[in-house]
Amino acid sequence: MIKTDVIIIGAGLLGCFTARNLTRYDIDVIVLEKEGDVCRGISKANTGIIYSGYDHKPGSEKHKLCMQANEEFDRLCSELEVPFRRPGSLMISYGPKADAVIARKYRDGIEGGTQGLRLLSGSEAEAMEPALAKGITSALYSSETGTVDPWELCIAAYENARDNGARFVFGSRVTDVKRETGGFTVETKAETYFAKAVVNAAGLASDSIREMSENPLIRLFPTAADYIVLDRSAGSIVDRVIFHEGENGKGLTLVPTVDGNLLIGPTNREASEEETAEKDMRTCRYGLDQLKELCGEIVPEADLNRQIRTFGSLRPNPYYVSLRGGDVIKREDSIKDIRLTEEDGLFSLIGIKTPGLTFSNELGKIVADKAAAHAGKTELNPDFDPHRKAIIRARDLSEDERADLISRDSAYGEIVCSCMDVTKAEILQAIKRGAHDFESVKRRTGAGFGKCQGSRCRRRITDLIVKGE
Ligand SMILES: Cc1cc2nc3c(=O)[nH]c(=O)nc-3n(C[C@H](O)[C@H](O)[C@H](O)COP(=O)(O)OP(=O)(O)OC[C@H]3O[C@@H](n4cnc5c(N)ncnc54)[C@H](O)[C@@H]3O)c2cc1C
């Protein structure tokens, strides 16, 4: 049996940031992840927006954490060397119902202290974003909205936690958690662990992980989301994140990403039985058609022929449940705020939806502090270093900088992914840092994310993984 102070189940954003914050203490931490790499769950399949806070009820935990996180985001991304932009956002409406929502969000935002909010007329909004369909009736501008690649953030948190001493065990699906005197035994197929405290950050499986040792309290009832990504030639069609507030239900969100693509989505549709049972994040034709139709209405100039990929996600909607007889009964209203369950050493992050990416470091810190205190490990780690060095990207350098780099490392002179301008040196760095398949190299370097989606570089990258040269 392997003994440790804290086990974290799940290496998504919340698991990785909890691990990072735990390593601020002099503590032994193990992260168990069922997949072969970090960021394979919801954390890779979301809208990548750093919210400014006006969307959340003033006084709620979500609001408090979101405000704090937004203010801290530049510092966080500079510590972890993660690209981050604040293009600002524009919430737009085309009718009275949505106007009322915008007016309410503006009032909430002002009351809650969001900086940089402005109510705009339709013509002001149309002048700011000329590609949007005419007829906007009102808009809410927020200067502090940002965007980030969620997997880059997650990988950075992972690398920083690992460099500070957290141990990650991939391919380790947790099959049982049992309460024992002084802690928990945690089972995987290959190993039994004992930990004084357990952090359950298993995303879509967090309800079932909790129920391995506790009575049902909260269950997840997922709905599905679909996204479309357009290539970099379409990324500049809008300058800001656009939230279209629909008159009759969910509108459209457009995100000019840090990589220069345009992200369109998400839908909000019922998840199929298969999607729910297998926690399988996939797109469906109906969802994608809905997006395309909305896109035609709201941003008619967007050229959907420039689509390079689509992806799906699942929203972990949390509901309280109660036990009646042997049955689990779902209560009516979903849980709107963050509900961290704490049961004598078991800390469960169940149903952390938007803006969970925005405040992943802040929530991770709260849980880490609680878990460290429970494990009796509150002494600080004198060697903790919050900084992490990113892989140098040739495509971000000037010609002179690039030439200088090539003179020091000739592998920076060999392009492997021509769509995204990724060099052999970057791929080798990713492999050195633990990338072991095409997908994990792709997430670390951007190779394979371009127009051809890896059809030209996949083989070469696989060779580099297998042969090392
Ligand atoms: C459609 C959508 C859009 C969103 N957009 C935004 C946004 O724009 N901005 C924002 O701030 N937030 C957004 N969010 C919220 C944000 O994405 C999540 O809050 C965040 O990613 C939380 O991730 P997580 O770590 O809880 O889960 P995950 O990333 O799913 O991680 C859970 C991990 O646990 C692992 N696991 C599961 N079961 C086991 C097991 N038995 N043993 C071991 N490991 C296991 C999984 O493999 C997975 O890696 C969005 C969410 C959704 C669904």
> CA 284, 285, 290 angle in degrees (round to 5)?
100
pLDDT value of position 333 = 87
Percent of the chain with pLDDT over 70: 100
Alpha-carbon gap, residue 469 to 460, rounded angstroms: 10
Ligand 1 in contact with 140 (CB < 6 A)?
no
For the Cβ of 34 lying below 6 angstroms from any atom of ligand 1, the answer is yes
The answer, yes or no, to whether any atom of ligand 1 lies below 6 A from the CB of 33, is yes
pLDDT of residue 423: 97
Which is the closest atom of ligand 1 to the Cα of 44?
Answer: 29
Distance between CA atoms of 370 and 161, rounded to whole angstroms? 17
- Packing angle of the helix pair 424-432, 438-445 (nearest 10 deg): 110
* Residue 233 neighbours by CB under 8 Å, 6+ apart: 306
Q: 60 Cβ partners below 8 Å, 6+ apart?
A: 336, 337
Ligand 1: centre distance to CA 412 (Å): 34
Residue 129 has which token pair?
């974003």
pLDDT confidence of 249, banded at 50, 70, 90?
confident
Answer left, alpha or beta for residue 183, where phi above 0 means left and psi between -120 and 50 means alpha.
left
pLDDT of residue 273: 83
Mutate to test the pocket of ligand 1, among 17, 47, 263 (most ligand atoms within 8 A of CB): 47
CA nearest ligand 1 atom 41, residue: 174
pLDDT at 399 over 90: yes
Rg (CA), the chain: 23
3 state SS of 140: strand
Average pLDDT score over residue span 281-295 = 93
For residue 54, the model assigns a pLDDT of: 96
Which two tokens mark 382? 């004198």
Nearest-CA residue for ligand 1 atom 53 is 315
> DSSP secondary structure string, 14-32?
HHHHHHHHHTTBS--EEEE
Question: Which is nearest to 6 in space by CA: 343, 346, 339?
Answer: 346
User: What is the widest separation between alpha-carbon atoms in the chain?
Assistant: 73
Ligand 1 centroid–CA 354 distance in Å is 10
Give the pLDDT score at 270: 92
For the record, the structure tokens of 325 come out as 């007889």
Look at residues 199, 297, 189 and name the one whose alpha carbon lies nearest to residue 246: 297
157 lines ligand 1 (CB under 6 A): no
Question: In the predicted model, what is the mean pLDDT of residues 191-217?
Answer: 97
pLDDT at position 324 = 86
Tell whether ligand 1 has an atom less than 6 A from the beta carbon of residue 446: no
Q: Which of 222, 221, 309, 233 minimizes the C-alpha distance to 265?
A: 309
Q: Atom of ligand 1 at shortest distance to CA of 359?
A: 11
Closest Cα to atom 2, ligand 1: which residue? 46
What would the pLDDT profile of 363-397 be if each residue is shown by its tens digit?
999 999 999 999 999 999 999 999 999 999 999 99
Which residue's CA is the closest to the ligand 1 atom numbered 35? 10
Domains and their CATH numbers in the chain = 2-44+151-219+317-374 (3.50.50.60), 89-143+223-315 (3.30.9.10), 394-467 (1.10.10.1100)
**Distance from the CA of 465 to the center of ligand 1, in angstroms?**
27
Ligand 1, atom 31: closest residue by C-alpha: 12
323 vs 465, higher pLDDT: 465
**Strand boundaries in 201-352, DSSP class E:** 218-220, 223-230, 241-245, 253-256, 262-265, 269-270, 307-315, 318-324, 327-334, 340-343, 346-349
Model confidence over 296-347: pLDDT tens digits?
A: 999 999 999 999 999 999 999 999 999 888 888 999 889 999 989 999 999 9
- Nearest Cα residue to 420 out of 401, 438, 399, 393: 393
Ligand 1 contact via 146 beta carbon (within 6 Å): no
pLDDT at 235 over 90: no
Interatomic CA distance for residues 13 and 364, integer angstroms: 9
- Tell me how crowded residue 175 is: count the other CB atoms within 10 A of its CB: 11
Is the CB of 353 within 6 Å of ligand 1?
Answer: yes
Mean pLDDT, the chain, rounded, equals 95
Which residues, 6+ apart, have CB-to-CB distance to 259 below 8 Å?
A: 149, 232, 235, 446, 449
What pLDDT digit, counting tens, does each position of 403-431 carry? 999 999 999 999 999 999 999 999 999 99
- Check pLDDT > 90 for residue 469: no
Question: Which of 34-43, 116-125, 179-188, 452-461 comes out lowest in average pLDDT?
Answer: 452-461
Q: How far is the CA of 142 from the centre of ligand 1 (A)?
A: 26
Q: Is the pLDDT of residue 225 over 90?
A: yes
Q: Please indicate whether residue 348, judged by its CB atom, sits closer than 6 Å to ligand 1.
A: no
